Amino acid sequence: MKKKLIFAIAIPFAAVASMLTIAGITKARADVSGMNITGDKLVLYTGTASSVIVPSGVKEISPEAFAGNTYVTDVVIENGVTKIGRDAFKNCSSLSSISIPDSVTMIGPSAFQSCQALNDVSLGSGLSDLGAGTFSDCDSLKTVDISSSNPYYTCANGAIYSKDGSKLVQYLSGHGAYLYSIPGNVTDIDRYAFWGADTVKEIIVPGMSSIPDYAFTNATGLESIEFQIPTNSIGMRSVSGCPNLAQVSIPVSVANIDSTAFEGCPDTLYFNCEDISKASEFAASKGYAAGDMDLYDSSVLVAAEADRIKREGQQEVPQYKFETYNHSEPKTVEANTDVEISSTEVVSDRAYVIVGGGELTVNNGSDASKVQADAIEAASVEKPYAHYLDQTLSEYVFPSDITSVGDFGFARTRLQNVNIPEGVTSIGKGAFYHCDNLTEVSIPSSVSSIGEKAFAYTPWYQRWENDSSADDFLIVGDGVLIGYKGDAESPEIPATVKYIAPGVFAK
């Protein structure tokens, strides 16, 4: 009977073993801690322990392995694990501490997303691939301890950056900033980098070729965002799902805006932009208000941010310094009290002088004085936006060998007089737009084309508009018509006109 009993019990075990072999999971096991491990992969953790150690022998933590676990508070991963999968610890609401060894080379996207209690993270030297949104919406995470020998990443100023500072990988929501200025040498921002940022209210973004898709998506606290020159495009859903966004400032250099870029933002969103820009056109197509006045007052925000830094004993860049340059707040040059009126001092590629006002004149510039400053390069004048928004610029000496002035090249500067040298054939769109102190302009006969609103909103142009004795047609250079103030339905174009600037007859 005993032998028969043993034989009877052995049959089902053999059957189970056969089934496991067929399924290809003979190595699978579930230990008492709730870890389901297949081969060298931790597939799923179903335990209720608060402290968890991922055992040696495991090389990969599978996607969603711990996702949604509300019990685990701290995790230690033994050396040997090389990969942590997508969403592996997502929504682990009690997780506060995790140590990731040097052996880990890859962490998948959103691996620790919405771990609200997470405040202590260490990353080893081997990590070379940190997925998008890895630490997004982790409201308690102020900083991440990244091994100093890691050649790929560093943590500074409340965010994870590439080691050279050129890419912002992840803003840490727990940093708590109200005003966040991204360093000027950042040329790329990872997807979901600001996802769930609910304290930062204003972000200043340096000029980069393109604002990446989803970069600022779901930045729930964001009220104002400013993009700077030479940003060219704003990507898909890059600032979408920001329910508190009140203003976006977009420079004239932006030529493309994805139709979904601001999807899910309030209907009251205001576009601070030039009226002849792509942003203005985009705003009109979406029913947003637009204008060239900054309506968002950040003065209170700046003070609050300063108090926060002082209160928390922080430095602006505690570990890693990146040089910044803000085009809208150019570096100033201390005034020299010995400089004589009308004299010029060259600093870098710009000339600064103290000058007085003058009467409106329009002439061919043949008798204009030509002073060559060796420090001024022609290329800087001919490129678009060369001095756009430079409020330190009150006078500029043009090189004699240039042939053009770039689009918005001197827009919104404090230029008081302009003497375009003979040989220049074209002046770009908005070149001197909103130069609010510009009273004297000299345009040579060599100029044969001028872009839309090149001199709009300048005292020089407005004086012509308001002069009842002046001709209805403003013709400069080689027969270039840049303004018409008459009311005739079919105005007769003067015979001297050879070129009509865009927008001359627009109402």
| 63-82 confidence digits (pLDDT tens) | 999 999 999 999 999 999 99
Mean pLDDT of 235-243: 98
Task: Give the chain's mean pLDDT.
Answer: 84
Q: What is residue 17's predicted lDDT score, i.e. its pLDDT?
A: 41
Please give the Cα distance from 328 to 181 (Å, whole number): 13
Mean pLDDT of 439-445: 97
More confident residue, 341 or 203: 203
Do 238 and 347 fall within a single domain? no
Number of domains, the chain: 2
Q: Is the model's pLDDT at 370 over the cut of 90?
A: no
Do 337 and 306 fall within a single domain? no
Do 245 and 200 fall within a single domain? yes
Q: Is the model's pLDDT at 113 over the cut of 90?
A: yes
| pLDDT classification of 330: cutoffs 50, 70, 90 | very low
Q: What is residue 127's predicted lDDT score, i.e. its pLDDT?
A: 98
Query: In CATH, what number is assigned to the domain containing residue 178?
Result: 3.80.10.10
For residue 96, the enclosing domain spans 35-312
Handedness of CA 277, 281, 286, 287 (dihedral sign): positive
Tokens of 13: 């075990």
Q: Looking at the domain assignment, is residue 18 inside a domain?
A: no
CB 233 within 8 A of CB 257: yes
Q: Which of 312, 346, 378 is the last residue of a domain?
A: 312
Do 307 and 349 fall within a single domain? no
For 419, the enclosing helix (H) or strand (E) is strand 417-419
| pLDDT classification of 301: cutoffs 50, 70, 90 | confident
Q: What is residue 297's predicted lDDT score, i.e. its pLDDT?
A: 86
Q: Is the model's pLDDT at 194 over the cut of 80?
A: yes
Q: Looking at the domain assignment, is residue 70 inside a domain?
A: yes
Q: Looking at the domain assignment, is residue 120 inside a domain?
A: yes
CB 152 within 8 A of CB 164: no
Do 351 and 277 fall within a single domain? no
More confident residue, 377 or 427: 427
Mean pLDDT of 450-456: 96
Q: What is residue 69's predicted lDDT score, i.e. its pLDDT?
A: 97
Q: Looking at the domain assignment, is residue 5 inside a domain?
A: no
CA-closest candidate to residue 210, choices 227, 223, 224, 197? 227
User: Going by DSSP bridges, is the β-strand pair 270-272/344-347 parallel, antiparallel, or unpaired?
Assistant: unpaired
Q: Is the model's pLDDT at 244 over the cut of 80?
A: yes
- Which range, of 153-167, 304-318, 425-439, 492-506, averages the lowest pLDDT? 304-318
Please give the Cα distance from 427 to 430 (Å, whole number): 9
Give the model confidence (pLDDT) of 9-26 as tens digits: 343 444 434 444 333 333
Q: Looking at the domain assignment, is residue 328 inside a domain?
A: no
Contact partners, residue 10, CB within 8 Å, separation at least 6: none
